[in-house]
Amino acid sequence: MKRICIFGAGAVGGHIAAKLARAGVEVSIVTRGEHLAAIQRNGLRFMHADGEFTVPVAATDDPHDLGPQDLVVTTAKAYALPEAAFQLRSLLGPETPVLFVVNGIPWWYLAVRNGGAPSRLDPVGSLLQEVGLGRTLGGVIRSPNEVIAPGTVRHNGKYSALRIGEIDNSRTPRLEAVAEVLRKGIPDTESTSDLSREIWSKLTLNIPSSLLSTLTGSTSPELFADSATRDLYERLAQEVCATAARYDTHVHFDLEQHLNAISANRHLPSMLQDLISGRRLEIDAQLFAVQDLARQARVDTPLIDVMLALLARKARVLNAHRARVS
């Protein structure tokens, strides 16, 4: 695999692109706005605890400029993917796999479960039609990043871990080939035959963090410093675990282990970053899709239900306010 395109190169995508480019991989990115202009002008700047570097990458807002790729990695927000399906199609050759690295429940997870019927994550089936399940790979990344200025991505942690898999959990030559090339940029990249477990395991962190941090404006260490919100965090994670179990995926949330892992990390969760920046929230994939699955499986999620209603209302109020002042 020689030609790799990162579609939606914001915080996470920019991290992957920068590391691959530095490793000598022929990488291009699809992004837009001031971020795109800065990268075209100055290159992609990446900052981390041990220093920084800048790499030149081919960057565009029109995938047709790039042509068919050997691999497409999309890190675009879940809500942007259905409308981007046609753009993704222009990057695909006959055998090009598409690796979807997203937060929350992926569109393909619901498509597999409902036999390809439309869902809240692919409302008119555009992803199913333009990309299809046959070329789809799933990915889960743990890597705290943010775009701190146009063209500049900062990594706010000590490590990054990427887990990728076939959506039917099979082991295939293409999966291993994708893992091999991605390791050049993200050394802790592993292929997995239990992708569902990776998805739900991350949700035990995403859901409590997204709900509590975005409602309160707090980082995870600040939430854990308060016994009341620490308790809510654990109870939310347990609701996720209970839902996952109904879908034959058993995950465990260890509060003490999580406390140790994030004790010094004051990175803002991505949903709180989006709220502060006035961007649309990934409520559907991270939260409503999980609530849907819980209700279908008849799992009680009282805390998720209450907090999600409050967060959705908060997002609507803020959006209405921004519309009035713009």
Q: Max Cα separation, the chain?
A: 54
Pairing of the two strands 26-30 and 58-60: parallel
Residue among 181, 179, 166, 159 nearest 25 (CA): 181
Residue among 171, 160, 224 nearest 193 (CA): 171
Residue among 66, 64, 59 nearest 44 (CA): 59
CA distance 138 to 200: 13
What are the structure tokens assigned to 219, written together?
Answer: 């980082």
CB 63 within 8 A of CB 7: yes
CA distance 120 to 2: 34
CA distance 265 to 218: 12
Quote the DSSP letter at residue 162.
E
- Catalytic residue numbers read 202
